[in-house]
Amino acid sequence: MKYIKNQEFGGERPLYCQHDLRLEDVTIHIGESSIKEGSNIEAVNCTFEGKYVFWEVTNFTVKNCYFAESARSSLWYSRDCRMIDCKVDAPKLFRRMTGIYVEHTDFPNGEQFLWDCKDIEMRDVEISNCDYVFMHSENIKLDNYRQNGNYGFQYARNVEIHNAVINSKDAFWEAENVTIYDSEINGEYLGWYGKNLKFVRCHLTGEQLLCYVDGLVLEDCTFGEDANLLFEYSELQAKIKGHVTSIKNPTSGYIEVDSVGDIIIDENQKQPADCKITVLTR
């Protein structure tokens, strides 16, 4: 393996098409495509200031590195990436990639992150300012995840989340095959038009949650006081702890809830219109 240490590079493509390369304490200054079309790359304690760093790169590890805000769009069209203990100020990372593992890294400027990506695993990660994160992505596993940004996980598929706090209006719209455990999700219009959404021991807040869902499952979940007009036109199986403000026009299945303020069934309920609602405490 070639080894480069304590050096600085800039301009366009200074390390283009490199293979079997280890970078240590290296700074990539303003420029473009510094490590494009490489493979088997290790970068440790490096600083990246230029754009388009890891494009079309296969099998690379980035550890204890810093991506400056100017290093936008630095990871695109690549495969088999490991990012560990990094500091990242750059926006627009991870586009059309396959095989992403991220651990102990925060992204305060998560604009347009993780679009059209596959096979993603993240642990101990926080992403902020991240509208539309994970859009059109699939095969996602998250643990100890924090998110601050709207429209998360739109059109995402095959998602498993543990121990998360997600603050996102319109999260999981048209998402499919999603299971979330022991998490808090805050935001209006959660999960609309989703398919096969499952929440286990979660706390959910926001208006008009979980409407138009096909195959909704809730196990031992709780809802905030602002969670109203739940489940309209959804097919569901729900066991809910505590009180909910209102339920409106579920389509089919069953709901078991400790207490509820209003149950609204009107002339607009859709067929088969046979959802069984059981209130355990009156």
Q: Is the pLDDT of residue 282 over 80?
A: no
The residues, any chain, with a CB within 8 Å of residue 267's CB and separated by 6 or more, are none
Of 117, 34, 126, 124, nearest to 80 by C-alpha is 117
Region of poorest pLDDT, from 34-43, 99-108, 247-256, 265-274: 265-274
List pLDDT tens digits, range 62-114. Answer: 999 999 999 999 999 999 999 999 999 999 999 999 999 999 999 999 999 99
Q: Is the pLDDT of residue 175 over 80?
A: yes
Going from the C-alpha of 241 to that of each of 204, 218, 221, 258, 281, the distances in angstroms are 12, 10, 6, 6, 11
What are the residue boundaries of the structural domains of the chain, listed by start? 1-123, 131-282
* Mean pLDDT, rounded, for 249-253: 96
Q: Is the pLDDT of residue 221 over 80?
A: yes
Please say whether the beta carbons of 94 and 112 come within 8 A. no
- Whole-number Å distance between alpha carbons of 169 and 151: 6
The count of other CB atoms within 10 Å of the CB of residue 271 is 7
- Model confidence, pTM: 0.95
- Whole-number Å distance between alpha carbons of 117 and 280: 43
pLDDT cut 90: percent of the chain above it: 96
Tokens standing for 153? 């996980």
List pLDDT tens digits, range 107-164. Answer: 999 999 999 999 999 999 999 999 999 999 999 999 999 999 999 999 999 999 999 9
Q: Is the pLDDT of residue 237 over 80?
A: yes
